[in-house]
């Protein structure tokens, strides 16, 4: 969801106004995703690198996140949204950790769509933590190194139990992963959109889905030309 800051700057607004507008866009896109049958939607909300930004920016963002977590429970329940959070939540303020846990528990039986928030998340950090967990089991004799498989690694990732993404959409014209779901996106289809995230529309979302539907996915296998 890239471009919140640039959107605010272009309008001579504080950066946090861009994130408020971006949060509204996330709500619209989540509603649309549920309408068209998308079962899992993952939103890159706050990266592990974002902690390195100015404290005032981080504090403003956490305040906005806190507000939405407080006020979104009714909307989540009314729309059948199951919430899940990935990333190093232990680095988040304690009250936000409590709110996340509450929402995950209260929405766990909702079945329309699962919305995954990547908070304090970085792909390399996730792989590091997974590797450390596996290494500890090997050191304890609970697991043999020769028995480590791709499935072993996946069982130690933050996304355990979630499917790999089919489609990755990045807004604002940037064309990079930015340390996002590095393991999981091995065969994901990419769509890059020039629109800044606060201006990203349902129509553009639908167009991205249509682009995905027209792709031929081979997963590295050879397929004879038709």
Catalytic residues: 2, 50
Helix ranges, the chain (H): 4-10, 15-35, 55-71, 73-78, 94-106, 123-139, 150-154, 202-213
List the Cα angle 147/128/156 in 5-degree steps: 50
Query: The tokens of 210 are what?
Result: 């249509």
Cα–Cα distance between 18 and 8 in angstroms, integer?
5
One-character DSSP codes across 178-210: -S-STTTTTT-EEEE--S-GGG--HHHHHHHHH
Rg (CA), the chain: 19
Cα–Cα distance between 26 and 205 in angstroms, integer?
11
Q: Is the dihedral of CA 12, 175, 29, 73 positive or negative?
A: negative
List the Cα angle 120/46/114 in 5-degree steps: 90
């Amino acid at each position: 969801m890239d471009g919140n800051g640039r959107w605010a700057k272009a309008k001579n607004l504080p950066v946090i106004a861009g994130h408020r507008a971006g949060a509204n866009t996330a709500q619209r896109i989540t509603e649309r995703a549920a309408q068209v049958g998308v079962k899992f939607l993952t939103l890159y909300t706050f990266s592990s690198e974002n902690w390195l930004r100015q404290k005032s920016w981080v504090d403003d963002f956490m305040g906005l996140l806190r507000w939405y977590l407080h006020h979104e429970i009714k909307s989540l329940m009314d729309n059948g949204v199951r919430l899940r959070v990935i990333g190093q939540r232990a680095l988040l303020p304690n009250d936000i950790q409590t709110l996340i846990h509450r929402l995950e528990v209260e929405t766990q039986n909702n079945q329309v769509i699962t919305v995954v928030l990547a908070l304090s998340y970085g792909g390399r950090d996730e792989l590091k933590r997974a590797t450390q967990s596996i290494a500890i089991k090997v050191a304890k004799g609970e697991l043999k190194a020769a028995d480590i498989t791709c499935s072993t690694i996946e069982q130690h990732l933050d996304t355990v139990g979630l499917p790999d993404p089919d489609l990755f959409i990045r807004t604002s014209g940037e064309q990079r992963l930015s340390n996002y779901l590095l393991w999981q996106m091995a065969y994901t289809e990419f769509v890059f959109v020039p629109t800044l995230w606060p201006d990203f529309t349902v129509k553009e979302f639908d167009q991205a889905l249509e682009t995905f539907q027209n792709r031929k996915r081979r997963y590295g296998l050879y397929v004879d030309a038709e």
